[in-house]
Amino acid sequence: MSTLTDTLVPSYLSGAWVTPENPSRVTEVADASTGEIVATVSTEGLDLAGAIEYAREVGQRNLRELTIHERALKLKELALYLGEHKEELYELAYKTGATKRDNGIDIDGGIQTMFVYSSKGRRELPNGHIIIDGPTEILSRDNSFLGTHIYTTLPGVAVQINAFNFPVWGMLEKFAPSFIAGMPTLVKPATPSGYVTAAAVRLMLESGILPEGSLQLISGSARDLLDHLDHRDHVAFTGSAATAATLRSHDNVLKNGVRFTAEADSLNAAILGEDVTEDSPEFEAYIKALFIEMTAKAGQKCTAVRRAIVPTALVDTVAEALAARVNDKIVPGDPRSGEATMGPLVSVDQRADVAAAVDKLVAAGGKVVTGGSDQLEGAFFAPTILTFEDADTDAVHDVEAFGPVVSVIGYTDTNDALRLAARGKGSLVASVITHSPELAATYAHNIGAFHGRLHFLDRDDAKTSTGHGSPLPHLVHGGPGRAGGGEELGGIRGVKHYMQRTAIQGTPDHLTAITGEWVRGAKVNKVTRADVEAGTAEHPFRKDLATLQIGDQFASDLRHVSLEEIIEFAEKTGDTFYAHVDEEAAMANPFFPRRVAHGYLLVSWAAGLFVEPAPGPVLANYGLENLRFITPVTYDDSVRIELTAKRITPRVTDDYGEVCWDAQLFNQNDELVASYDVLTLVEKENTTYANWNK
C-alpha cells in the first residue's frame, strides 16, 4: 500500500524539490477511471514569498544573461528533450482520463508550441534584449529630437495558474513566450492533474537546459500567492469566471499594479450557414466538427462547442446526425484499454458539476437526444446532445456544462444567428460553416467583437483546417467578456505580454545606443570609394560580424544618368511605361518633369555604386524592405548612395548572421531619391574567402 510520502507531489521552489513535512491538510487525487488514489498534494508551510524573490533575483539575472535568440534556442532544445520523454507523460496522463488522442492535443501540442515559439523568436525578433516597436518618429525639424517605442522585460515573475484540462499544454503555452521575453515562471497547476505537470517540470529541469531560477512549481493550493506579488509581476490565469473574478479583485491587482489576464468560461458557438443544406459537403464538415469538439478531452476544453446554432429547419436533422455518429464511434472507458475512444472526466467532482449543469439545461426546456446526466457511473459522463424549442432560452447562453455536452438551437435568418451568437457574452472562438464568402464577411464584421477567434470552414479547407477547438501558437487565444478579456499566444504578441512598452525620446545617438539599431542622423564611420582605393579605410562589405559596427557607412560618388540608359533598360526589360519612354506623356503627368529613370533601374545603379565585388564575408543579398521612391530622376541628373549598417543579427546556430543596411539614394542636389533597407547574410568570421586576395 502506498503511503503519503510515496504519493505526495513535490513542489520545486528556490532551486530545490520540496514537500511539506507531516502536513495536516492534504488533498487526495484519484485515477479518473479506477478511483485509485494516485497522488496527494499539500503546500502547507512552503515558502512562496521566498520562491517569488528567488525568481526575481536569480531567475531574472540568469535569463538576462541570454539574448532573445539564445532563449529561443533553449526552447527548441527543451522541446526536443520532452519529445524524447513524452511516453512517460502519456502514461501519467492516462490516469487523468486522457486518451491517446487527447495526449496528442495536450502533450504533443505543448511541445509543438515550444517549437513554434523557438522558430518565431529567432526569425522575427532581434538577437538582443529589447524589441523595437514601430518606426522612429521625427519630433523636430532638424532631426535632432526623435522618438520611438521599445519593449523591455518585466522585472518580476510570470505566475501561471492553470486549469486541470491541459496539464502540459496549459503550462508550455504560457511558459514559451514568457521565457523568450526573459521572465522567470512560477507554475501553479490545478490539483486534479497537477501531478502530470510536475512530471513535465521535472523533465525540463533534468534536461539541464534551463537557467537556474527560470522555472518553479507549486503543487497544491496557493491561496496567498497574490499576497506576495506587486507591479513587477504578471499573472496569467485559466479557469472559471468566478475564480477569475476573485483573483481580479485582489488588492495587489486593484491597487499595486499586478498585471492580471484571464481565460475563463466560454459558451463557444458553431454556426451552420444559411447556404448549407443536408446534401452540402459543409453539412458533413459541421457534424464532424461538433463530434470532435464534444468528445476530445471528453468535452473538457475551454474552446469546445457548447452551442450549435443552425437553421431552424435543420435542428432535428443536425441533432440526429450527430447522435448517430456519437453512438457509432464513442466507447467510453479507461484510456489504457484497447477499446475506449473517450475517457472519463477528470474526477467524480467534475462529473457532478457537469451533471448539475445538464440538469439545469433540461429543467430549462432542453430535450435529451442522447446521453444525459444519469447514464454512466463514476467519473464517466455520456456524450449528451440537447435541443431547445426556444433558442432564446437563457440557460443555453448562460450555463456551461464543461464536458461532452452540446445544445442545438435554431435560427430564422442570418441576422437572428448573429444575435444568438452574441448572446454568449463573449467567447474564445466561434466557427462559421459556410461556402459563401459574402456570408463569411457578414459574420466576421458582426460577431468579430464578441470572439477572440473566428474559424471559417467549408469544403475547401475541411481537410486542412486545424479545427474549431485548437488554439495555435501563431494566433491569439483568449476572448472578450465572459471569456475573461485576456489574450495569450498570437505569435510574438504573446512575448510582448511579458514586457513593458516604453516610449523613448532623445537624439539619434541616444536612440541608436538604446535600441542597438542605427537611426538616421546618428554618428557614422564614413568610408568613400577614394578611401578604399587609397587603402586608408576598409569597405564595410569587407568586414565580418566580428568587426562590422552599427553606423559603418559607405558613401559613393555621383553617377550620371543618361537618356540612352533609360531607353535601353525599357527595351531590354519590357517595362515601357510611358513615363520612361514618352516625353510628352511624361511631362503631362504632375509627378514627372520629363522622361524619368525606372525605380528598379535606380536600385540597380545603387547596388553598382556600393557593392564590393570581390568574394568576402558578405555571402548573399536576400532582399529589400521598405522601398520607397521619393524624388523622380530624369536624364542628366546624377545619383549617389549612402549605405549604413543599421542592424546586426548574429545567428546563434550558424556561422553567419543578418545585416540590415540603411540605403539612401540622393541626387546631385542632395534630395532623397529612394529609401530602403538592404538585407545581407554575412559571416561571423571571414573564413570562406579570407585568403582570396592574398
Whether 4 shows a pLDDT value over 80: the answer reads no
Each residue of 339-362: b (16+ CB within 10 Å) or e? ebebbbbbbbebbebbbebbbebb
pLDDT tens digits along 366-420: 999 998 877 767 889 999 999 999 999 999 999 999 999 999 999 999 999 999 9
302 catalytically annotated: yes
Largest Cα separation within the chain, whole Å, is: 98
**How far apart are alpha carbons 583 and 297 in whole angstroms?**
71
617 class by beta-carbon count within 10 Å (0-12 exposed, 13-18 middle, 19+ buried) = buried
Confidence of residue 691 (pLDDT cuts 50, 70, 90): low
DSSP 35: -
Instruction: Give alpha helix (H) positions in 549-687.
Output: 563-573, 578-581, 583-588, 599-610
Do 258 and 229 meet the contact criterion of CB atoms below 8 Å apart?
A: yes
Mean pLDDT of 593-614: 91
Mean pLDDT of 236-263: 90
DSSP symbols for 240-293: -HHHHHHHHTSHHHHTS--EEEEE----EEEEE-TT--TTSHHHHHHHHHHHHH
Q: What are phi and psi of 287, to 5 degrees?
A: -60, -40
Do 558 and 544 meet the contact criterion of CB atoms below 8 Å apart?
A: no
Average pLDDT, the chain: 92
End-to-end alpha carbon distance in the chain: 78
Q: What are phi and psi of 259, to 5 degrees?
A: -75, 130
Whether 1 shows a pLDDT value over 60: the answer reads no
The catalytic position among 173, 263, 282, 488 is 263
Whether 201 shows a pLDDT value over 80: the answer reads yes
Do 36 and 42 meet the contact criterion of CB atoms below 8 Å apart?
A: no
Mean pLDDT of 204-229: 93
pLDDT score for 2:
47
| Element housing 5 (H / E) | helix 4-7
Residues in the chain: 694
Residue of 226, 8, 133, 67 whose CA lies nearest to 649? 67
DSSP symbols for 40-74: EE--TT--HHHHHHHIIIIIHHHHHTS-HHHHHHH
Mean pLDDT of 229-235: 95
Whether 694 shows a pLDDT value over 60: the answer reads no
pLDDT tens digits along 618-666: 888 989 999 999 999 999 999 999 999 999 988 888 888 899 999 999 9
Which pTM does this prediction carry? 0.90
pLDDT tens digits along 317-334: 999 999 999 999 988 889
3-state secondary structure of 411: strand
Whether 693 shows a pLDDT value over 80: the answer reads no
The answer to whether the Cα torsion of 4, 6, 7, 9 is positive or negative is positive
Whether 273 shows a pLDDT value over 90: the answer reads yes
CA 60 centroid distance within chain:
22
pLDDT score for 209:
96
660 catalytically annotated: no
pLDDT tens digits along 128-156: 999 999 999 999 998 899 999 999 999 99
Mean pLDDT of 451-471: 91
Distances in whole angstroms, Cα of residue 162 to Cα of each of 458, 484, 656, 677: 33, 14, 40, 43
The catalytic position among 173, 282, 293, 302 is 302
Confidence of residue 113 (pLDDT cuts 50, 70, 90): very high
SS3 content of the chain, % helix, strand, coil (to 5): 35, 25, 40
Do 469 and 452 meet the contact criterion of CB atoms below 8 Å apart?
A: no
- Return the residue matching grid coordinates 463530434: 291
Characterise 516 by phi-psi region: left (phi > 0), alpha (psi -120 to 50), beta (else).
Answer: left
CA 594 centroid distance within chain:
50
Which residues lie below 8 Å from residue 513, measured CB to CB, with a gap of 6+? none
